[in-house]
Structure 1
């Protein structure tokens, strides 16, 4: 360094060239000196300033390069900041010019780059721009600005969390080679991920032999808790059937599921390790339930149990105290899908009050009267979720319960949209009275007994229906050599013929719900049925959501009914009926009406949630708020868990499809 400075000697640039240059058109530059405003030309090309240290304008704020000894001198004195308005030099660290009062740009203490006035972070290195007098602290500490802060979309939402853990992985690692263990773990991970994706879940993180899974984020569904329970059972079955050349015994998993409110979306980490945090008690509870579960078992918490109702068969466990959870937890094991026929009855066991549907019910009753006269009728009922489609069909069933008729009900499922004729299979199994413990011969006997009521060719129909129901027949029936297409065509004809056979005995009331979830083959059968019942004493009621466009409109025997939301007076009536005739505070009723937006199911659930919250005390003919409750639900009722999922699914459907953040690579925790 000494020899370099000796070579430069006194051939350094004048001090005036250390001023700020302002860019001009055509590449010309202008500098401002402290004592004059005259234009200064850049140094000549043969100037010794070409033999300098590489100090550039973008990094250190200079427009020309300085000799080494002047650069070292300025480094010792402290670099001065020139005012962009008057050109006066100001001590480093000042915020305003001492001569004209102009706000001075800030210089980064880490990289030396100048930033515009008002900026808080350096645009080059991300270090904070310290205020006046804090230059030393900024020079010592390198802080990275949170560049992704603007992209963080943390939100409060209901989430169902599932923890899945492989049983006996430690013992397995001691028996087989690490590379073989890696293959087993990879196969296990792929199996679980495939099942979870089928049910709309999201694998947030792979943790060795465990997986963290979300239902309700990034995409929410109205039945996330049900999807999680179905996925847990499917994962347990699928992992148990995995076969690799390295595992001798069948693999088993433990699954824990919990539902609750969380805050999700905060970005943590950086680069490839960036993840989105989920904050709340729900992930911890799911992890504790997973540790408590037996091999092959699926445990759920009380909130998840309330959301999925009677859709599954359960085994209640004792209330247990879990580490880190304040209150004892009531755990429940999910055994299997229940045999209940109606989703509406499974999720809403009590009778919902029927309000403001007198006209629609009168239309259905008149159509039933026409059916009893021998005319076939079809009624299409459309409406958004929770508007009361299923409740209206139940009201019709109650109205005609005392009259002789045959009642057939079919239910489409959101989880069976690719299963051919799933509504028909479920109805046949229910009508025949199948039990899980029945043998194949017993099921065939029950099937034949059911077909005797509607068919003149019991053996031929039983052979077709047994194949549809996946019941082995052995040599009980002859198997004609038919092509698959011909067999399907014959099956659809026999199914339509069953309706004709029943209609010969008495009027038939058919109800098929949620047709928007029907599989293609079921829709084909639906088209045939609607066309076939024109001259039969059959009332066929079809319910669906507005996104489904029915192709049967305009036919003379088809009637369309659209259910609208409740008005203010109808909302007040429903609140009173749910409250058992007790008068609620006026402010509370206004909040319920405003938050439920006229959807009957939401009105019922929110009213029940307020009544069960304990914030109201009952008087003789009215309900009033507890005096000790400052934040009473009367002022701000909370959303019940039973319809948070529905609101979340509507929000996701209305917005662009949510995707995991870039860099997270399906890994979020």
Structure 2
């Protein structure tokens, strides 16, 4: 078995990975078989046999080990799973055993990182019978994932075979990908369409694209929600602005924590906070300008080689006006000059003490330079000016760059041996000094993606802050349970960003429909399906439009005459009957929900899928029966199974994936049920459906009183009324 986080082969019987320390899944945690949408990566060293035949075996082994370590390291960096290593290649999977919202992007970045890493290794290892190079193939699609022969986790399917054939066909040093991979990452990378390739084992030519590289300024996935107005949230915005007023009045820092599920709109909320803060009336006297707090906004990366302390380094960059793009070279003298000017400017803001002197703000420049990754090069020493209390500078250099093309901040023990806590305190001193010019609003987004080291450093920084600074930490709900820094900040105010409701959700839908509206019944159904999540709603509207199920047309009232509604403003839309009944997951929405499901503990994830087999609503007895069936297979005591079921249901209720209803449970949205159902293998589905029908036939009438007639003509058992179409069809 391999570690699901870093791909390292596990020591037999170990509970934790000896490489990264991650908990290893037990056999009970890894499914025997499940359906997943993944991106498969194959990397193959070209002409390896020709290269190695004239070399000493020890050298071949040493070079191969370096190359394989580099390839596996790239997979680990971007959150993929190393499926297998061969003598001259690698197979990696992004999306199994753990899914992320952006697995396709991770795979593309990993492929580029692999090519760079191999080139670096081979530049050091000249010789051999032929030049070496790496061919990479990427393909996105559905696979069956699970334990093969009960021993090794792997994925199988045509998606895997196609990725391997694309790697075989790729030019040396190139990355070839299928159409789905390229389409999902056009906002991120440039692709060149090749002529369709005839690949071994494929009946039809395969659409193929060659990766040209990442865009200098990657965009975001385009969608109808991008230009929609900000609606609702008046209470939440008002609370943040109220805290800003308190911060300014008391000249003391304050920390707020905002949690929200994916798609609820926390990033958009932060942008609105920034807009309000920039126009806030501070009042005369204390600051050079009476209007506007300064906003410094950064985010935590979920993957990549610059995750360590990157948010703190980015705060420094933003604060002193350095470019965030790593492709822009920044020399040490340029950074020093910016900090010197800042010190001079802040000194001018000081009010002399009674003795006529003023305390110059201390900005620990050397520590900030270390955090930014500026190398200390004794050979490039230059004279420096000691001005306004600023430290003396002695060296020049260039800001470091990591292998993925982004600036690389310092490690836990930086190159000069400075502790992380010292670096975090240096950032706090810089931010505190900036409050001489204006109040600050510091926004740290996606804190759930931060490394533990980053979280600890942020905690140190927050405790050391002084002056009027409002800090807004944003992340997913699990942030409250897992972020260690929150336990050290007793006065941190935690606020959940709720789904949009009522008129706010209707206004958002109208904006997606360009000011139009749907008949009330259709609007209610669409909004109920989206459950107040702006991203879900936008994806639903786009999907329905693409299918031709949501179209412009005369808005009519129910009735035989279907008369048009008079006097309604805006464009009129109509929804095809039955279009909200099934298959509502777009590619991006499926990825978001799959990641949310994979974040569940194994038992809760299994219970959620049991409930999905039943339908949007689930009698409590059906879920209990399915769990008892499973316990009968592995021999666990019934009492243990009951406790595990209660714990799993509590978890699903706490995460708002299920809600209680009379006699059982219901999915928060049919979208979540569809995503959970899609992950169950057909074999497992057939077994669960068959078991449910047998259970239902034994149960007394407990659902709707009217029977449902199956396609076979047989009456449905009363307990099965209201079950999913799939369960009823199986009967």
Instruction: Quickly name the TM-score band, shorter chain normalised.
Output: 0.5 to 0.7
Aligned residue in 2 for 1:38:
none
- Give the gaps of 5 or more residues in structure 1: 1-150, 660-669
By how many angstroms is 1:432 displaced? Answer: 0.9
Residue pair 2:261, 2:476 contacting (<8 A) in 1 also: yes
From the superposition, tell whether residues 397 and 289 of structure 1 become closer, same or farther in structure 2 (CA, over 3 Å): farther
Match of 2:471 among 527, 536, 540: 540
By how many angstroms is 1:222 displaced? Answer: 2.5
From the superposition, tell whether residues 348 and 235 of structure 1 become closer, same or farther in structure 2 (CA, over 3 Å): farther
Aligned residue in 2 for 1:575:
509
Q: Please tell me whether residue 242 in structure 1 is matched to residue 148 in structure 2.
A: no
Residue pair 2:101, 2:594 contacting (<8 A) in 1 also: yes
Question: How far apart are the structure 2 equivalents of 1:529 and 1:190?
Answer: 35
Deviations 1:21-75 (A, max 9, x none): xxxxxxxxxxxxxxxxxxxxxxxxxxxxxxxxxxxxxxxxxxxxxxxxxxxxxxx
By how many angstroms is 1:362 displaced? Answer: 1.6
Deviations 1:209-256 (A, max 9, x none): 343321112222223223212322232233223368785587431222
Residue pair 2:225, 2:535 contacting (<8 A) in 1 also: no
Q: Please tell me whether residue 359 in structure 1 is matched to residue 235 in structure 2.
A: yes
From the superposition, tell whether residues 554 and 464 of structure 1 become closer, same or farther in structure 2 (CA, over 3 Å): closer
Q: Please tell me whether residue 259 in structure 1 is matched to residue 126 in structure 2.
A: no
Aligned residue in 2 for 1:432:
322
Question: How far apart are the structure 1 equivalents of 2:106 and 2:89?
Answer: 19
By how many angstroms is 1:153 displaced? Answer: 5.1
By how many angstroms is 1:625 displaced? Answer: 5.4
Question: How far apart are the structure 2 equivalents of 1:418 and 1:616?
Answer: 43
Aligned residue in 1 for 2:572:
622
Aligned residue in 1 for 2:546:
612
From the superposition, tell whether residues 527 and 344 of structure 1 become closer, same or farther in structure 2 (CA, over 3 Å): farther
Aligned residue in 2 for 1:97:
none
Question: How far apart are the structure 1 equivalents of 2:245 and 2:78?
Answer: 43
Q: Please tell me whether residue 413 in structure 1 is matched to residue 413 in structure 2.
A: no
Match of 1:387 among 240, 264, 289: 264
Match of 1:218 among 97, 102, 108: 97
Q: Please tell me whether residue 163 in structure 1 is matched to residue 42 in structure 2.
A: yes
Question: How far apart are the structure 2 equivalents of 1:337 and 1:411?
Answer: 19
By how many angstroms is 1:264 displaced? Answer: 0.9
Residue pair 1:164, 1:212 contacting (<8 A) in 2 also: yes
- Give the gaps of 5 or more residues in structure 2: 1-29, 280-290, 348-359, 383-392, 396-413, 555-570, 607-731
Q: Aligned to 1:467, what secondary structure does the other structure show?
A: helix
Deviations 1:272-321 (A, max 9, x none): 8x9966334x44553454355443333445544554575x4x33313532
Question: How far apart are the structure 1 equivalents of 2:205 and 2:361?
Answer: 59
Question: How far apart are the structure 2 equivalents of 1:166 and 1:191?
Answer: 13
Q: Aligned to 1:542, what secondary structure does the other structure show?
A: strand
Residue pair 2:174, 2:211 contacting (<8 A) in 1 also: yes
Residue pair 1:315, 1:334 contacting (<8 A) in 2 also: yes
Aligned residue in 2 for 1:192:
71
From the superposition, tell whether residues 212 and 467 of structure 1 become closer, same or farther in structure 2 (CA, over 3 Å): same
Q: Please tell me whether residue 317 in structure 1 is matched to residue 192 in structure 2.
A: yes
Q: Please tell me whether residue 469 in structure 1 is matched to residue 372 in structure 2.
A: yes
Residue pair 1:381, 1:563 contacting (<8 A) in 2 also: yes
Deviations 1:334-365 (A, max 9, x none): 6358566xx98999992455344221112122
From the superposition, tell whether residues 190 and 300 of structure 1 become closer, same or farther in structure 2 (CA, over 3 Å): same
By how many angstroms is 1:541 displaced? Answer: 1.0
Q: Please tell me whether residue 448 in structure 1 is matched to residue 329 in structure 2.
A: no
Residue pair 2:95, 2:103 contacting (<8 A) in 1 also: yes
Deviations 1:392-426 (A, max 9, x none): 11111223444433221121122269954211223
By how many angstroms is 1:558 displaced? Answer: 4.2
Residue pair 1:158, 1:259 contacting (<8 A) in 2 also: yes
Q: Please tell me whether residue 377 in structure 1 is matched to residue 327 in structure 2.
A: no
Question: How far apart are the structure 1 equivalents of 2:499 and 2:306?
Answer: 32
From the superposition, tell whether residues 592 and 242 of structure 1 become closer, same or farther in structure 2 (CA, over 3 Å): farther
Q: Aligned to 2:190, what secondary structure does the other structure show?
A: strand
How large is the RMSD of aligned CA atoms in angstroms? 4.4
Question: How far apart are the structure 2 equivalents of 1:267 and 1:524?
Answer: 36
TM-score relative to the length of structure 1: 0.62
Number of aligned pairs? Answer: 493
By how many angstroms is 1:434 displaced? Answer: 6.1
Q: Aligned to 2:477, what secondary structure does the other structure show?
A: coil
Question: How far apart are the structure 1 equivalents of 2:31 and 2:425?
Answer: 57
Match of 1:602 among 525, 528, 536: 536
Q: Aligned to 1:212, what secondary structure does the other structure show?
A: strand
Aligned residue in 2 for 1:530:
462
From the superposition, tell whether residues 445 and 166 of structure 1 become closer, same or farther in structure 2 (CA, over 3 Å): same
Task: Identify the range of structure 1 (292-301 vs 251-260) with the bigger mean alpha-carbon deviation.
Answer: 292-301
Question: How far apart are the structure 2 equivalents of 1:459 and 1:475?
Answer: 23
From the superposition, tell whether residues 395 and 360 of structure 1 become closer, same or farther in structure 2 (CA, over 3 Å): same
Residue pair 1:591, 1:636 contacting (<8 A) in 2 also: no
Aligned residue in 2 for 1:396:
273
Q: Please tell me whether residue 636 in structure 1 is matched to residue 582 in structure 2.
A: yes
From the superposition, tell whether residues 588 and 235 of structure 1 become closer, same or farther in structure 2 (CA, over 3 Å): farther
From the superposition, tell whether residues 196 and 519 of structure 1 become closer, same or farther in structure 2 (CA, over 3 Å): closer
From the superposition, tell whether residues 213 and 650 of structure 1 become closer, same or farther in structure 2 (CA, over 3 Å): same
Residue pair 2:136, 2:175 contacting (<8 A) in 1 also: yes
Q: How does 1:67-146 map to 2 (within 5 A)?
A: none
Match of 1:652 among 598, 602, 617: 598
Residue pair 1:418, 1:519 contacting (<8 A) in 2 also: no
Residue pair 1:309, 1:347 contacting (<8 A) in 2 also: no
Question: How far apart are the structure 1 equivalents of 2:421 and 2:31?
Answer: 55
Question: How far apart are the structure 2 equivalents of 1:267 and 1:374?
Answer: 59
From the superposition, tell whether residues 349 and 528 of structure 1 become closer, same or farther in structure 2 (CA, over 3 Å): farther
Deviations 1:188-215 (A, max 9, x none): 4444234324433233345663433211
Q: Please tell me whether residue 563 in structure 1 is matched to residue 520 in structure 2.
A: no
From the superposition, tell whether residues 285 and 395 of structure 1 become closer, same or farther in structure 2 (CA, over 3 Å): farther
Question: How far apart are the structure 2 equivalents of 1:568 and 1:637?
Answer: 25
By how many angstroms is 1:445 displaced? Answer: 1.1
Question: How far apart are the structure 1 equivalents of 2:229 and 2:170?
Answer: 40
Aligned residue in 2 for 1:508:
440
